[in-house]
Amino acid sequence: MERTVNEPVIGGVHIGNKVLPFYKNRDVVYVQHDEDKTATKFFGSTLNYVQRFNLMFRGIEPEKIEVIYIDKRGNQLSEKPEPPTREEVRKMMTEGETPTPE
């Protein structure tokens, strides 16, 4: 989606030394993965459980929500990160996480 200079900003979040804006007329979610892919943080538009699962484990972005991937300092990533492999998911599950939607 094209961004304009005059787009109304209704808030934002501080990550590192950056302010990532939330916009009045569009849904945006900033997604931050840990480097080992065991944790993901979401900032902005609220995603339901299935949307979060599909985004984290299948790489499927929710409809009508702009997804912006960021690093731990708030910098936008140049490429969409790959979802974890089955082996990485198995490892997460043995460590106590359960990434299965209802």
For residues 17-52, b (16+ Cβ closer than 10 Å) or e, as one string?
A: eeebbbbeeebbbbbbbeeebeeeebbbbebeeebb
**In degrees, to the nearest 5, what angle opens at C-alpha 12 toward C-alphas 11 and 15?**
165
pTM of the model: 0.78
The residue ranking higher by pLDDT, 93 or 20, is: 20
What is the C-alpha separation between 24 and 17, in angstroms, rounded? 23
Tens digits of residue pLDDT in 15-40: 988 999 998 888 999 999 877 666 78
pLDDT band at residue 77 under the 50/70/90 scheme: very high
Tens digits of residue pLDDT in 56-68: 888 899 999 999 9
